[in-house]
Amino acid sequence: MASGRYDLVVLGAGSAGIAMAVRSARHGAKVALLEPGALGGTCVNVGCVPKKAMWFAAELAEAQKIAREVGFDVQPGALRWPDFVARRSAYIDNIHAAYRRRFEDVGVELIAEPGRFLAADRIATPTRELEAGRVLIATGAKSLREPIPGGELGIDSDGFFALRAAPRRVAIVGSGYIAVELAGVLRALGSEVTVVARGERLLAAFDHELGDALAAAMARRGIELAFRRKTVAVEATGPGYLLRFTDGSSAGDFDELIWATGRHAVTAGLDLERAGVALDAKGFVQVDDWQDTNVANVHAVGDVTGRLALTPVAVAAARRLADRVFGGKPESKLDYANVPTVVFAHPPIGSVGLGEEAARAQHGDTAVKVYRSEFRPMLTALARGEERTRMKLVCVGEDERVVGLHMIGIGADEILQGFAVAVKMGARKADFDATVAIHPTSAEEFVLM
Ligand X SMILES: Cc1cc2nc3c(=O)[nH]c(=O)nc-3n(C[C@H](O)[C@H](O)[C@H](O)COP(=O)(O)OP(=O)(O)OC[C@H]3O[C@@H](n4cnc5c(N)ncnc54)[C@H](O)[C@@H]3O)c2cc1C
Q: Report whether 175 belongs to an annotated binding site.
A: yes
Taking the complex as a whole, how short is the minimal distance between the CB of residue 366 and ligand X, in angstroms?
A: 35
Whose CA is closest to 325, among 295, 291, 302, 279? Answer: 291
181 appears as a binding residue in the annotation: yes
Spatial neighbors of 149 by CB under 8 A, at least 6 apart, are: 232, 233, 234, 235
Compute the distance between CA of residue 27 and CA of residue 108 in angstroms, rounded to an integer. 12
Q: Which is nearer to ligand NAD, 6 or 259 (CB)?
A: 259
Q: Residues binding ligand X: what is the number (CB under 6 A)?
A: 36
The nearest distance, CB 158 to ligand NAD, in angstroms, is: 12
214 sits near ligand X (criterion: CB under 6 A): no
> Does residue 348 bind ligand X (CB under 6 A)?
no
C-alpha span between 32 and 28 (Å, rounded): 13
Q: Which is nearer to ligand NAD, 24 or 157 (CB)?
A: 157
Rounded to whole angstroms, the Cα distance separating 72 from 64 reads 9
Residue type, 198: R
Q: Does 285 carry a binding-site annotation?
A: no
368 vs 412, which CB is nearer to ligand X? 412
In whole angstroms, the minimum distance from the beta carbon of 68 to ligand NAD comes to 29
- Residue number with the shortest CB distance to ligand NAD? 176
Instruction: Output 135 or 202, the one with its CB closest to ligand NAD.
Output: 202
Across the beta sheet with 256-259, the strand order is 224-226, 192-196, 169-173, 256-259
Is 178 labeled as ligand-binding?
yes
43 contributes a contact to ligand X by CB under 6 A: yes
Partner whose binding site includes residue 15, from ligand NAD, ligand X, none (CB under 5 to 8 Å by kind): ligand X
Distance CA 367, CA 360 (A): 8
* Region 178-207 residues binding ligand X, contact defined as CB under 6 A: 178
Q: Which is nearer to ligand NAD, 114 or 140 (CB)?
A: 140
3-state helix, strand, coil in the chain (%, to 5): 35, 25, 40
The piece of 101-109, 300-308, 328-336, 359-367 that touches ligand X (CB under 6 A) is 300-308
291 binds ligand X (CB under 6 A): no
Residue 368 within binding range of ligand X, rule CB under 6 A: no
Please tell me the number of Cα atoms within 13 Å of 215 on its side-chain side.
19
Q: For residue 161, give Cα distances in angstroms to 43, 158, 182, 303, 441.
A: 12, 5, 10, 20, 34
Distance, in Å, from the CA atom of 243 to the CA atom of 252, rounded to the nearest integer, reads: 6
Q: Which of 314, 405, 410, 422 binds ligand X (CB under 6 A)?
A: 314
Helix (H) or strand (E) holding 169: strand 169-173
Give the residue, chosen from 8, 9, 13, 300, that forms a contact with ligand X under the rule CB under 6 A. 13
Return residues touching ligand NAD (CB under 6 A).
Answer: 146, 173-179, 181, 198-199, 204, 230-231, 260-263, 309-310, 341-344
Half-sphere CA count of 15, side-chain side, radius 13 A:
23
Q: Any known ligand binding at 115?
A: yes
Residue 197 · residue 285 · CB < 8 Å: no
Active site residue 439: yes
* Residue 312 interacting with ligand X (CB under 6 A): yes
Q: Show contacts with ligand X in window 139-168 (CB under 6 A).
A: 139-140, 157
CA-wise closest residue to 315 among 112, 1, 23, 65: 23
Active-site hit among 27, 208, 264, 439: 439
Report the amino acid identity of residue 203.
L
- For residue 273, how many C-alpha atoms fall within 13 Å in the half-sphere facing its CB? 3
Which one among 21, 26, 41, 285 touches ligand X, defined by CB under 6 A?
A: 41
Question: By CB under 6 A, what part of segment 413-442 binds ligand X?
Answer: none
- Residues 41 and 69: their CA atoms lie apart, in Å, by 41
Residues forming the annotated binding site? 52, 115, 174-181, 262, 303
Q: Which residues bind ligand X (CB under 6 A)?
A: 11-17, 34-37, 41-43, 47-48, 51, 114-115, 138-140, 157, 178, 266, 269-270, 302-304, 309-312, 314, 344
Q: Which residues are the active-site residues?
A: 439
Residues forming the annotated binding site for FAD? 52, 115, 303
